[in-house]
Amino acid sequence: MLTRAPKGTRDILPAEIGRWQHVERLFAETCRRFGYAEIRVPTFEHTELFQRGVGDTTDIVQKEMYTFPDKAGRSLSLRPEGTAGVVRSYIENGMASLPAPVKLFYMLTAFRYENVQKGRYREFHQFGVEAFGAAGPEVDAEIIGLLAAFFRSLGLRQTSLRINSIGCPDCRTAYHGILRDYLEPRLEGLCRDCRNRFDRNPLRILDCKEERCRLATAGAPALLDHLDPPCRDHFDRLRDALSSLDIAYTIDKGIVRGLDYYTRTVFEFVSDHVGTQGTICGGGRYDGLVEACGGAPTPGMGFGLGVERLLMHLDAQGVPLPVNPGPDLYLAPAGDGARPAAARLAQGLRERGVSVETDLCGRSLKAQMKYAGKIGARRTVVLGDDELASGRVRIRDMATGAEEEAGLDELAGSDVLAALLVAP
């Protein structure tokens, strides 16, 4: 127990942190260019927020949430996704009085009690954006465009965009009748959850992952074919907007998304290597959510992207991702007398931007050189009595063996180190 992390959780080790920092940097940079500002919200919230904001007929709330009473007896839950907390924050902090649209992005961990598999964990990472206060399809297209730009900058290929519309509550009320008529004779064949959903929210049945439910709903009438004119118009204009951005998509009438609060646009980016963990990212419009959570009626649109899945698909496609580089310089004190000077020099260089390692383990000079090779130092400098007396050192390039002489006082300003400083 003590030496095993809980099932479904994972350490991100120093050897792979370079990949994570790379995707985090690119996502934050893409969001900045598109005008989205970062928001950080709490890891846990009142359970009611997720019941309301994610929806209490969803699998997430019914089966997957980590819910616990705190010491004062309040029911709290670890966030299973990011949107509900961001919506709560938007309302609580009066962001409705800011000039619309309010465009936010986040990078956070989320928690779901799931069957653990590759690409499916109990603690996982999501990137997401939310835009509040703009009702038109232009913001839907902008957000999809943000994802397309992010994927392109990463070098991710072989993903398809699938879009659908699930209309507004009015279209859905009409459609629920049509869907129930279709499902009624097939009710016996559905799983227990879906039999319960039949009365409360039959649309959920279309999102069930049980094989028998998928079979039973395969020929069901699609909501997309029963939109009212304003919702139809929104969808048609989204299609036009995507086409003018040269963003390819397919219409997938089967996408209903796992969350209750979506209206109109829903979309997913799916890897072409299909599998149950093929969905990298899902999102949509949620015009009823802010009001459902206690705010004024406010249109909203956003997505959540699974970072582990993104990295998994980047790997599967062989997209090279940066690993952590070794230090710019290894500074080797030759003999105990040189140690204070080496420590001082390392400190000074580090403060001027050079990444420097020096000996902390009392190694011999030979062992230090071996160590410098192991940690991938790009240059080495030996600092001994001679160097200290003459004030001059030799900077050795570990890859080529080439050496260059520099004065101790000008080390950080030397050409080779200056080149290292500007190197990525």
Where along the sequence are the contacts to ligand ATP (CB under 6 A)?
81, 112, 114, 119-121, 124, 126, 258, 279-282, 304-306, 308-309
CB of 263 to ligand ATP, least distance (A): 16
Calculate the CA dihedral of residues 212, 176, 172, 237 and round it to 10 degrees: 60
C-beta closer to ligand ATP: residue 257 or 379: 257
C-beta closer to ligand ATP: residue 34 or 50: 50
C-beta closer to ligand ATP: residue 252 or 404: 252
C-beta closer to ligand ATP: residue 64 or 404: 64
Burial class (CB in 10 A: 0-12, 13-18, 19+), 421: middle
Residue of 301, 390, 346, 298 whose CA lies nearest to 97: 298
Calculate the CA dihedral of residues 43, 143, 20, 24 and round it to 10 degrees: -80
- Rg from Cα positions in the chain: 28
Residue of 123, 130, 122 whose CA lies nearest to 84: 130
C-beta closer to ligand ATP: residue 59 or 359: 59
Q: Centre a 10 Å sphere on the Cβ of residue 252 and count the other Cβ atoms it contains.
A: 17
For residues 304 and 309, give the distance between their C-alpha atoms in angstroms, rounded to a whole number. Answer: 12
CB of 270 to ligand ATP, least distance (A): 9
**Residue nearest to ligand ATP according to CB distances in the complex:** 306
CB of 254 to ligand ATP, least distance (A): 12
> How remote is the C-alpha of 149 from its chain's centroid?
15
- Using an 8 Å Cβ cutoff, are 109 and 123 in contact? yes
Cβ contacts of 53 within 8 Å, gap of 6 or more: 83, 84, 87, 88, 261, 289, 292, 293
Residue of 124, 52, 132 whose CA lies nearest to 86: 132
CB of 407 to ligand ATP, least distance (A): 54
Buried (b) or exposed (e) across 14-33, using 16+ Cβ within 10 A?
eeeeebbebbeeebeebbee
C-beta closer to ligand ATP: residue 49 or 280: 280
CB of 90 to ligand ATP, least distance (A): 19
Backbone angles phi, psi at 189, to 5 degrees: -80, -5
C-beta closer to ligand ATP: residue 305 or 349: 305
C-beta closer to ligand ATP: residue 110 or 356: 110
CB of 166 to ligand ATP, least distance (A): 14
CB of 394 to ligand ATP, least distance (A): 50
CB of 280 to ligand ATP, least distance (A): 5
- Using an 8 Å Cβ cutoff, are 408 and 387 in contact? yes
- Using an 8 Å Cβ cutoff, are 262 and 171 in contact? no
Q: Which two tokens stand for residue 71?
A: 């010491």
C-beta closer to ligand ATP: residue 95 or 280: 280
C-beta closer to ligand ATP: residue 157 or 394: 157
Contacts of 367-374 spanning 24+ positions with Cβ under 8 A: 368/330, 368/332, 369/332, 371/330, 372/330, 372/332, 372/398, 373/398
CB of 190 to ligand ATP, least distance (A): 19
CB of 197 to ligand ATP, least distance (A): 16
